Amino acid sequence: MNYILGVDGGATKTTVQIADISGKAIVETVSKPTSSKSVEISEVEENLNAGVFSAIKNLKSPKDIYFISSCFGFAGCNTMADLEIYKKIVFNSKLKSYLNPEKSMIYNDTRIGLEAGSSSKNKIIVIAGTGSNCFGVNEEGKEAKANGWDYILADEGSGYKVSIKGLRAVMRDYDGRGEKTLLSKTILDELGFKDILDLSEWAYKKPFSKEKLGSLAKTICQTAKMGDKVSIAILAGEAEEALISINTVVQILGLKDKNFDLVFVGGLFKCIKYFKSVLTSKLKEDYPGTKIIPLIDNPVNGAIKLAIGNL
């Protein structure tokens, strides 16, 4: 039987959805990460297959399955080299016979998130989660991206970057190189440490985990609510970085004097007063006609929409 396949492959989990040819969801499953920047390539393939075949098993008739159109959105699929890697992963020996190679699309996960968040012809998505990214499409079909090059090259406006700045502020306070900050207490309390020097072992303990470090952004937001000037400045600085990414995409797409949807997604936007409100107030000044939309829909639904549109 013919179906539509959508995959949202993230750094923490992978969501797989199978829909009928009208786009109606039939089965949805969740498996382990499929971001090549988070796990080994062999694990990406293994986790992708586990998710897809788990979904197939949950169909009423799991035999003679064929996906006439499919769309995969992967975190970490940023360059042509990444795309070639993901093509090999997607069309692996176990999965390729189920796929129509002429109707199988592979994108960065921002593309499917944008499609899930807005139906406008002019639209931009900005991600401020553990990582960050900004991606947009205009009415002519032109695409543009800014940021999202991961934690070494470019991850400004992310929970990870907020957390790194917070940890460094604690060490500056400890050394006497920087301002006093309540983070020296709140971060230690969050981690269950009694001594600031315990941070050294924790931060450098292998294996490295961007998610582990990025989780401290929530603590820094709470500390900002306590009036800590250092925390407030960190969050305001990263809101400014998110704005720079948005401005860059707006300029490339020629949307400065046009109305467009702006989709927000990511845990950092839960920090309402000191991150989200700082960013949105500046956006309303620069682009008064912009419609700001939180991403409520499941990103994997965006993958299904793109796959349907490709039929």
| Chain position carrying tokens 């020996």 | 93
- Per-residue pLDDT band for 294 (boundaries 50, 70, 90) equals very high
pLDDT digits (tens, 9 = 90+) for 71-82: 999 988 989 999
Hey, which residues does 294 pair with through a beta bridge? 264
Q: Does 244 reside within a domain? A: no
Q: Does 63 reside within a domain? A: yes
pLDDT digits (tens, 9 = 90+) for 163-194: 999 999 999 999 999 999 999 999 999 999 99
| Predicted local confidence at residue 39, as pLDDT | 85
Q: Does 72 reside within a domain? A: yes
Q: What is the CATH number of the domain that holds 54?
A: 3.30.420.40
CB-based burial, 110-146: b 16+ in 10 Å, e otherwise: bbbbbbbbbebebbbbbbbbbbbbbbbbbeeeeebbb
| Predicted local confidence at residue 37, as pLDDT | 79
Q: Does 123 reside within a domain? A: no
| Predicted local confidence at residue 156, as pLDDT | 96
Residues spanned by the domain of 88 = 2-115+298-309
| Chain position carrying tokens 């786009």 | 23
Q: What angle do CA 117, 120, 121 make, to 5 degrees?
A: 130
CA separation for the pair 158, 160 (Å, rounded): 5
pLDDT at 212 over 90: no
pLDDT digits (tens, 9 = 90+) for 248-266: 999 999 999 999 999 999 9
Q: Does 100 reside within a domain? A: yes
| Predicted local confidence at residue 178, as pLDDT | 96
CA separation for the pair 109, 300 (Å, rounded): 9
CB 15 within 8 A of CB 8: yes
CA separation for the pair 242, 235 (Å, rounded): 11
| Predicted local confidence at residue 157, as pLDDT | 96
| Predicted local confidence at residue 192, as pLDDT | 96
